[in-house]
Structure formats: C-alpha cells, structure tokens
C-alpha cells in the first residue's frame, strides 16, 4: 500500500471516494477490497489490482497472552517488529518501530546492537498499527494507545514519524487522539524543539537512564555528541511552550545506574523541573548487563518519592518472546 499512489488511482473519482477508501482501510479495517462495499465493483477490482492490503507477518504470543509480537515482512524482505500489550480495562497499546535497527548503539539495547539498516516509511509505521487493529477487531477491541518505543530512534526519522502520526490522528483516517500517542527519544539535537513547534498534543518521553553526564555517555554513546545539559534545555523549552508533562524513562541496570548516589543525583535534576516525572523500567537483559534487584529498585524509588518526585513503574511485558519494548531485534527466535 502507498497512500500517494492510492490518491493517484482515485484522481479521476469524485473527492468523497478518497474519504470512503480511507474509512474502509483505517476504520473498517478491511483486509481485502471485496469488503469495501461502499465502492463500485469496478473500482474495487481496480484497487485490488493495484493496492494490496495484505500485511505479511509472523506472530508470537507470550504465555500469559498479554503480549503479542508481530514480525512484519517489508517489501525489501527486511523485517520489522511491533508489539501489542494488553492491559486491564480493554486498554491495548501498540509499541511501534520507527527504524530497522538503530545507529545509536546504546549498550543495553538489542536494537542498538544490530546496527542500522534503514528508516521506515510512514505507511510501514502505520501498517504495524493496522496489523494489530485488525487482530483486535476480531475480538471487538480497539487500539487505544500507540508508543514509539519499538526499534529505532524516532527523531532520526522525524519526517516519516510525524507523517505517520498525522495519519493515525486524522479524523478521516485512523482517528486516534493525539494524547494517546507517545514518542520516546534518547535526545537527538533539535528533535524536541521541532516537536514543540508542531503544536500536537502527543506525549513526549525522554530516555534518561542517568542524571550524570559521564555515566550517561557510557550507557548512551550519543550523549557524548549531544550532552544531557543540552537535552534538558530543549525539554525545559518544550514544557514551557506546550505546558505538557514529560516522562523521563529510567532503566534500572544492576550496579551501573541503580545506586543511592544515582538516585540523589536524579533528585537534583528533577527538583527544578515542573511537569516532569520519572518512569522506572525493569531491564530485560539482552546481553551481559543485568536487571537491578527488586529491593534495589524499591530503595531507589523511595529516595525519589521522599523528595517529592512523581514516579511510575513499568513492569516487564512479554519477556518470554523477546517482546518487551526495547528488546526488539527483528529476528524470529
Ligand atoms: N530510541 C528511543 C525509542 C526506542 S527504545 C529511545 O531510546 O528512547 C524505547 C525504550 O525502551 C527506551 O526507554 C529504552 O531505553 C528502553 N529499552 C531499550 N532496551 C531495553 C531493554 N532491554 N529492557 C527494557 N527497556 C529497554
Ligand atoms: Fe536506539 Fe533507543 Fe536502542 Fe538507544 S535505546 S540504541 S536510541 S533504539
């Protein structure tokens, strides 16, 4: 599927046709054109010939069925991973990828280890959502949230990511509220500032993992080029302009960034920042590094909370299928 090409096919049709076609794809979630009964038979035949609606994927389900991972094959045979996380109260979050691999090579990250292959196109991002939207439809459920926390650094593929968000948000297309969409970034020069200028109500998450510039550079090599201080300046302007909350993600890695001193440093960083909060993430080991012990996480969290910092905690999802966000490497195991 290619949206520009689709528009071209419909060029000679009255303008409401495009609306009908978008509704069929993104809202009725048709899997083949014969289901698009609002369209004439000849148009359906024409579309069937030119635009495949097929999304080829291998599916892996965790034992508890709460996490489902899809490995989608792209036109050049590369594979992209996307994950559905099922929460209580019919909340269904899709963790989408923005790139195949990632050039930033964070030491804890499976995607970073595989290197960088290419950026995903807007529709390749959207297809990840469509795949699970179709899947959920069969159970009368819907995609309720989308997080850009799969493979890749969204701000290194800024234009395509934003284009995909516009389509996902568009009332005539997928029609998911901007407040239900989140982007996670490690901090790429200018990315956060550019996002602030979009005036979109999407959520921003920043992968912090350390409040100390030197340690952060060891964990996230990209920090050497663009320091924590510069990222925080961008965050501060973002908050000032958007009045929106920012989530700082903090991965707990044993004996690396989980000491009481690390927590105190984090308190100093957070104290002066309004509307910011910490999300503590349990580490899914993908190499030599180990997750922090539960008691350590608790003490770390206590230090933050006693200082009045808002802390949330993200538990592991789908570890038996390498399906946790940030654990994706585009290979079937
Ligand atoms: N490149 C972006 C978005 C993709 S990673 C970023 O780094 O923010 C999304 C989140 O998953 C990040 O917070 C990242 O630190 C986290 N993550 C990466 N590897 C992980 C792992 N093995 N276990 C748990 N979280 C991980
Ligand atoms: Fe890239 Fe994010 Fe993984 Fe770092 S954590 S290598 S930025 S995907």
Q: Residue ranges per domain, the chain?
A: 1-54, 56-332
Pairing of strands 79-86, 67-73: antiparallel
Q: Choose between 197 and 286: higher pLDDT.
A: 197
Backbone angles phi, psi at 135, to 5 degrees: -60, -45
Question: What does the pLDDT read at residue 333?
Answer: 47
Q: Choose between 327 and 191: higher pLDDT.
A: 191
CATH top class, domain 56-332: alpha beta
Which residue CA neighbors atom 25 of ligand 1 most closely? Answer: 326
Q: What are 173-182's pLDDT values in tens digits?
A: 999 999 999 9
Q: Is the CB of 173 under 6 A from ligand 1?
A: no
Q: What are 37-74's pLDDT values in tens digits?
A: 999 999 999 999 989 999 999 999 988 888 999 999 99
For ligand 1, pick from 97, 149, 319 the residue to mutate: most ligand atoms within 8 Å of CB. Answer: 149
CA distance 250 to 215: 13
3-state helix, strand, coil in the chain (%, to 5): 40, 20, 40
CA distance 21 to 44: 10
pLDDT, mean over the chain: 93
Q: What are 224-243's pLDDT values in tens digits?
A: 999 999 999 999 999 999 99
Task: Report the pocket of ligand 2 as residue ranges, CB < 6 Å.
Answer: 102, 104-106, 109, 111-112, 152-153, 186, 326
Q: What are 186-224's pLDDT values in tens digits?
A: 999 999 999 999 989 999 999 999 999 999 999 999 999
CA distance 327 to 329: 7
Residue 109 alpha carbon to ligand 1 centre in Å: 7
Atom of ligand 2 nearest to the CA of 110: 3
């Amino acid at each position: 599927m290619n949206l520009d090409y689709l528009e071209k096919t419909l060029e000679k049709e009255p303008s409401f046709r495009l609306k009908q076609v978008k509704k069929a794809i993104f809202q009725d979630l048709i899997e083949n054109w014969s289901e698009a009964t609002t369209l004439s038979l000849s148009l359906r035949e024409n579309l069937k010939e030119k635009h495949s609606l097929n999304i080829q994927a291998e599916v892996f389900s965790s034992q508890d069925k709460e996490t489902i991972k899809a490995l989608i094959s792209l036109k050049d045979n590369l594979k992209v991973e996307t994950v559905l996380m099922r929460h209580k109260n019919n909340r269904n979050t899709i963790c989408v990828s923005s790139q195949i691999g990632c050039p930033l090579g964070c030491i804890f990250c499976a995607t970073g280890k595989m290197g960088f292959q290419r950026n995903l196109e807007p529709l390749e991002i959207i297809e990840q959502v469509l795949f699970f939207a179709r899947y959920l439809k069969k159970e009368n459920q819907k995609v309720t949230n989308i997080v850009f926390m799969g493979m890749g650094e969204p701000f290194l593929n800024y234009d395509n990511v934003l284009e995909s968000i516009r389509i996902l948000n568009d009332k005539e297309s997928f029609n998911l509220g901007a407040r239900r969409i989140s982007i996670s970034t490690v901090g790429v020069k200018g990315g956060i500032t550019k996002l602030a200028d979009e005036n979109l109500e999407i959520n921003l998450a920043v992968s912090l993992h350390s409040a100390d510039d030197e340690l952060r550079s060891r964990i996230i090599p990209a920090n050497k080029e663009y320091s924590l201080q510069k990222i925080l300046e961008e965050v501060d302007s973002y908050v000032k302009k958007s009045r929106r909350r920012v989530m700082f993600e903090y991965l707990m890695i044993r004996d690396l960034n989980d000491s009481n001193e690390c927590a105190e440093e984090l308190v100093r960083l957070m104290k002066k920042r309004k509307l910011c909060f910490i999300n503590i993430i349990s580490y899914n080991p993908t190499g030599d590094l180990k997750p922090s012990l539960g008691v350590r996480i608790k003490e770390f969290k206590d230090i933050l909370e006693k200082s009045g910092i808002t802390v949330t905690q993200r538990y592991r999802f789908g570890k038996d299928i390498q399906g946790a966000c940030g654990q994706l490497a585009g290979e079937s195991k």
